[in-house]
Amino acid sequence: MRVHIPKNKRVVQTYAKSLHNSVDIAKFKEDLKAAKNIAFLSGAGISSESGIPTFRGRGGYWRRYSAASLATPEAFKENPSLVWEFYHHRREVAAKAQPNKGHIAIAQYEAKHGKAKIITVVTQNVDSLHARAGTKNLVELHGSLFKTRCTKCNDVLVNTDNPICEALANKWAPGKDVVDSDIPVKSLPHCKKANCNGLLRPHIVWFGESLETPVFERADEAMSKCDVCLIIGTSSLVYPAAGFGPLAAARGAIVAEFNIEKTPATRSFTYYFGGPCAVTLPRVLND
């Protein structure tokens, strides 16, 4: 059978890229089939396809603040009410978002092959979309929007209340005309343990803070032992997660990157699948 090759140069290039990806997909599926230990590492790119803001680059502002400037222990110490309003906004956005086909493909792959293979999903995201999609063996490197930690007793609890406290109701609006917060600290979320009543904070690893040792060790073990590693929607710029893929590749693991654009680490990987994760992941993971 003769295959028609379009004459238009741009279409020809697209066709060639599609053909190349089809060949790579077939090869990578064979690699997955042979693998006994598989690790997924996801970043903001997969969640952005569900409508979660990345808070990076030129659009990374909430009200008049750089999102990064509010995600620090210093910001919380100086103005906990403002920081809680920001995280209330993030909780609202994440709660309304839905896992996309990329999240679902990963969860379904784990459900189908999890008894025969070791499958670990490590995510830098804090939106809980992997968990909501059904992923079980999940490592949340940077914490979760839907967990709190007491600043006094360090108790960590799941909290999906909306709003998390009455004072935060209708306080999520990101409008630039709103500058500060007028919520008294006593009205913010507080620990409910007997004899504590400490101020709660989001259970998020903020800029300037270290990853929790047990969490990092779980992620490091998954990445250091996997036969195949899938790097999904991450810029490969934020450490220590940015080092996982190149280190896996350096020790001989097969590493595949799924991203809209190539990253500084792409050249060290075995495969690159360009395009939305919600499109490329189902093509690779569905049998």
Instruction: Indicate whether 147 pLDDT > 60.
Output: yes
Q: Write out pLDDT tens, residues 159-198.
A: 999 999 999 998 766 655 666 788 999 999 999 999 999 9
3-state SS of 225-281 is HCCEEEEECCCCCCCCHHHHHHHHHHCCCEEEEEECCCCCCHHHCCEEEECCHHHHH
Binding residues for NAD(+), as ranges, are 124-127, 233-235, 259-261, 277
Catalytic site includes residue 142: yes
| Domains defined along the chain, listed by start | 33-51+99-142+211-287 (3.40.50.1220), 53-96+143-204 (3.30.1600.10)
Binding residues for Zn(2+), as ranges, are 150, 153, 191, 196
pLDDT reported for residue 176: 55
Decide which of 53 and 255 is more confident.
255
Q: Average the pLDDT over 224-250 and give the result.
A: 91
The reply to whether the predicted model has a pTM over 0.75 is yes
Binding residues, as ranges, are 87, 90, 124-127, 150, 153, 191, 196, 233-235, 259-261, 277
Q: Write out pLDDT tens, residues 6-19.
A: 344 343 333 334 44
Q: Other CB atoms closer than 10 Å to residue 57's CB: what's the count?
A: 7
Catalytic residue among 89, 103, 130, 142: 142
